């Protein structure tokens, strides 16, 4: 039943606005794929999803489900089920009625509806609550009813608009895995919107990063993590975020604080100015000593001990300081004291370089 979804230069310009909320989005989502749309608020991720669901007009371009052009179809003719951020359950209907409502409208027989609702309720552990009204449920249960309403339909595509953002942190983590495994089991193409990059990384087969209505990069979670196409993606994906700073370049070496970090020849060759934006992940920083010319001192301001990990937040010390804060992963349970000066160097091959003007990634091979 599962089908692919294609955004073909789909654009949405809100009436009275000049700049598009979604600008020529080109995206192919394979059959049964779990694609996550992620980005900061106002990046157009929800608008893209709502365009797919038919809740938002498409100004130009096309959207296809399989080979079917659904750009201008009404929502009900698209065979899509959606899970809303605030669940949007019908308050006057019981859980069972909520879940079976779409089938009832489609004219499915009562016994079929009951069977499918019961099956979905079994999958989602909702059997004891089928007769209750939404207001008698907890937040997590409501979220599951919203999921149930979607899966009962057996649609071609699931649309999920930040379905976990109203749950508390602990429930969010467990529901996250439940949704991901449910999706694998049902094998239904899913488009999932979130602003939380951890959700994006953990749930998606592929992740699409949007900013200001423009698609920045689509790749697997690790692809985004290891090979960000630009500085925005680099800074957005990963927690704690990648360290990004602009540094002066002299003789093929970047001046990071007191350190002179040699840049790969390909990077230097691609530079257009004497400055470069460098990125290095917290775990790419390795403890070093003052003797190493490529190492730089960091003044430890805050140490976060997480048990399995520890992160050091500090200031780069040096005259030509352009990175505000530096985060480094350090060995847990033997962390440096606050205020001490710690020397780090960047693990070879784990340095990212970006153009200062455009933010585009520069080659680092």
Partner 1 sequence: MTRLLPAGALDPADTTGATASDVRPGRVRGREDRSRLASIALHGTLVLATLVALFPVLWILLSSFKPANRIQTSEITLIDSPTLDNYRAVLFDTPFPTWFLNSVVVAAFTMVIGITMSATAGYALSRFNFAGKRGLMWVFLITQMFPVAILIVPIYTIMANAGLINTKASLIIAYCTVAVPFCAWMLRGYFDTIPQELDEAAALDGLGPFGTFYRVILPLARPGLAVTAFYTFLTAWGEVAYAIAFMQTRDNLTLGAGLQQFVPQFNPQWHLLTAGSVLILIPAAIVFFFAQKHLVAGLTAGGTKG
Sign for the CA dihedral angle at 259, 261, 262, 263 comes to: negative
| Rounded least distance, CB 114 to partner 1, Å | 17
Sign for the CA dihedral angle at 289, 291, 294, 298 comes to: positive
Strand, helix or coil at 22? Answer: strand
| Rounded least distance, CB 296 to partner 1, Å | 44
Is residue 355 within 8 A of residue 315, CB to CB? The reply is no
Dist. CA 221–CA 72, nearest whole Å: 32
Interface with partner 1, residue 74, by CB under 8 A: yes
Interface with partner 1, residue 89, by CB under 8 A: yes
Closest Cα to residue 63, out of 149, 156, 132?
Answer: 156
Q: Which stretch binds partner 1 (CB under 8 A): 84-92, 271-279, 283-291, 300-308?
A: 84-92
DSSP state string for 169-200: HHHHHHHHHHHHHHHHHHT-EEEEEES-HHHH
| Rounded least distance, CB 68 to partner 1, Å | 16
Near partner 1 by CB under 8 A: residue from 7, 34, 101, 225: 101
Interface with partner 1, residue 165, by CB under 8 A: yes
Interface with partner 1, residue 76, by CB under 8 A: yes
Give how many residues touch partner 1 by CB under 8 A. 33
Interface with partner 1, residue 105, by CB under 8 A: yes
Interface with partner 1, residue 341, by CB under 8 A: no
Token output for 124: 């989602």
> Could you tell me whether strands 189-194 and 34-38 are parallel, antiparallel, or unpaired per DSSP bridges?
parallel
- The residue among 139 and 269 lying less far from partner 1, judged by its C-beta, is 139
| Rounded least distance, CB 183 to partner 1, Å | 18
Interface with partner 1, residue 227, by CB under 8 A: no
Strand, helix or coil at 55? Answer: coil
| Rounded least distance, CB 143 to partner 1, Å | 9
Near partner 1 by CB under 8 A: residue from 71, 85, 246, 340: 85
Which residue is listed with tokens 């605030």?
Answer: 86
Interface with partner 1, residue 202, by CB under 8 A: no
Is residue 21 within 8 A of residue 12, CB to CB? The reply is yes
| Rounded least distance, CB 83 to partner 1, Å | 10
Q: Which stretch binds partner 1 (CB under 8 A): 61-69, 97-105, 208-216, 223-231?
A: 97-105
**Is the link from the previous residue into 150 a cis peptide, with omega within 30 of 0?**
no
- The residue among 89 and 224 lying less far from partner 1, judged by its C-beta, is 89
**Of residues 115-144, those binding partner 1 (CB under 8 A):** 133-137, 139, 142
Interface with partner 1, residue 88, by CB under 8 A: yes
DSSP H helical segments within the chain, as ranges?
45-53, 95-105, 110-123, 139-152, 169-186, 197-203, 221-226, 231-236, 265-270
Write out the residues near partner 1 by the rule CB under 8 A.
Answer: 53-55, 74-76, 80-82, 84-92, 101-102, 105-106, 133-137, 139, 142, 149, 153, 165-166
């Amino acid at each position: 039943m599962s089908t692919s979804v294609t955004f073909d230069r789909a654009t949405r310009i809100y009436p009275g606005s000049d700049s598009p909320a979604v600008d020529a989005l080109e995206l192919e989502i394979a059959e049964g794929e779990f694609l996550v749309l992620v980005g900061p608020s106002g990046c157009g991720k929800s608008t893209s999803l709502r365009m797919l669901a038919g809740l938002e007009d498409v100004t130009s371009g096309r959207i296809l489900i399989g080979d079917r052009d659904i750009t201008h179809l009404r929502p009900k003719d698209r065979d899509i089920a959606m899970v809303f951020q605030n669940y949007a359950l019908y308050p006057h209907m019981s859980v069972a009625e909520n879940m079976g409502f779409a089938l009832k409208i489609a004219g499915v027989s009562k016994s079929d509806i009951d069977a499918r609702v019961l099956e979905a309720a079994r999958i989602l552990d909702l059997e004891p609550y089928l007769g209750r009204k939404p207001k008698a449920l907890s937040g997590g249960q409501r979220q599951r009813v919203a999921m149930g309403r979607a899966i009962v339909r057996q649609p071609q595509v699931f649309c999920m608009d930040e379905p976990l953002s109203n749950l508390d942190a602990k429930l969010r983590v467990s529901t996250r895995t439940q949704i991901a495994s449910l999706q694998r089991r049902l094998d239904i193409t899913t488009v999932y919107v979130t602003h939380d990059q951890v959700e994006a990384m953990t749930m998606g087969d592929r992740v699409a990063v949007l900013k200001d209505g423009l698609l920045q990069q689509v790749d697997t979670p690790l692809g985004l993590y290891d090979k960000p196409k630009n500085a925005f993606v680099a800074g957005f994906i990963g927690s704690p975020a990648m360290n990004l700073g602009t540094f002066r370049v002299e003789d093929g070496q970047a001046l990071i604080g007191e350190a002179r970090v040699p840049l790969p020849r390909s990077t230097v060759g691609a530079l257009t100015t004497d400055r470069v934006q460098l990125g290095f992940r917290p775990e790419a920083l390795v403890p070093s000593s003052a003797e190493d010319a490529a190492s730089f001192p960091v003044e430890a301001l805050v140490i976060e001990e997480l048990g399995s990990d520890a992160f050091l937040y500090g200031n780069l010390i040096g005259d030509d300081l352009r990175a505000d804060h530096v985060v480094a992963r350090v060995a847990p349970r033997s962390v440096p004291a606050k205020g001490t000066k710690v020397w780090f160097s960047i693990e070879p091959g784990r340095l990212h370089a970006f153009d200062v003007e455009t933010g585009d990634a520069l080659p680092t091979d």
